[in-house]
């Protein structure tokens, strides 16, 4: 009876080992397929990068850019008389208080009463923007 029990345990261990080996083989096959998919995706991405680099090289070609500039821009050659020495440049105008052009326009558009005072309170945004 004892031998049957040992044989039963050994057979159960062999079945468990076979199931475990099958599980490991299945997982390794799945991993190999995943690696193959990732390798194919990496190759596609590298091919796309190579195509984009080739396109960029074509677009960045100086001769192409010069032809586009000649066709679409009305540029003139630099006249040597346009270059001036730094000490011959005029002085910078004196710095005054900064002016707010929009506030000046808004102040000019504000209606005034016959006495010269503004009709009603002035908008808060006009005074805050100065």
The token duo for 75 is 């540029």
Is 118's pLDDT higher than 60?
A: no
Q: Is the pLDDT of residue 33 over 60?
A: yes
User: With 60 as the cut, is the pLDDT of residue 126 above it?
Assistant: no
pLDDT at 60 over 70: yes
At residue 38, does pLDDT exceed 60? yes
Q: Give the alpha-carbon dihedral of 55, 58, 61, 63, to 10 degrees.
A: -150
**How does the average pLDDT of the chain come out, rounded?**
84
Return the SS3 of 33. helix
The pLDDT of residue 128: 46
Q: CA-to-CA distance for 40 and 22, rounded, in angstroms?
A: 27
pLDDT score, position 127: 47
The pLDDT-based confidence of 115 (bands split at 50, 70, 90) is low
CB-side neighbour CA atoms (13 Å) of 8: 5
DSSP string, 90-118: PPPPPP-----HHHHHHHHHS-B-TTSSB
In the prediction, which pLDDT does 112 show? 65
pLDDT at 74: 86
Whats the size of the chain, residue-wise? Answer: 130
89 vs 32, more confident: 32
Q: Where are the beta strands (DSSP E) in 1-130?
A: none
> Burial of 106 by CB count in 10 Å (0-12 exposed, 13-18 middle, 19+ buried)?
middle
The C-alpha torsion from 33 through 38 and 40 to 41, rounded to 10°, is 140
């Amino acid at each position: 009876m004892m031998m049957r029990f040992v044989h039963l345990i050994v057979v159960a261990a062999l079945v468990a080992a076979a199931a475990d080996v099958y599980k490991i083989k299945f997982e390794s096959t799945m991993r190999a397929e995943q690696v193959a998919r990732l390798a194919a995706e990496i190759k596609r991405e590298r091919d796309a990068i190579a195509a984009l680099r080739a396109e960029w090289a074509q677009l960045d070609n100086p001769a192409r850019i010069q032809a586009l500039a000649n066709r679409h821009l009305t540029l003139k050659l630099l006249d040597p008389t346009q270059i001036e020495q730094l000490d011959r440049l005029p002085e910078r105008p004196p710095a005054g208080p900064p002016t707010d052009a929009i506030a000046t326009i808004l102040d000019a558009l504000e209606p005034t009463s016959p006495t010269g005072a503004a009709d009603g309170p002035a908008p808060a945004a006009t005074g805050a923007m100065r």
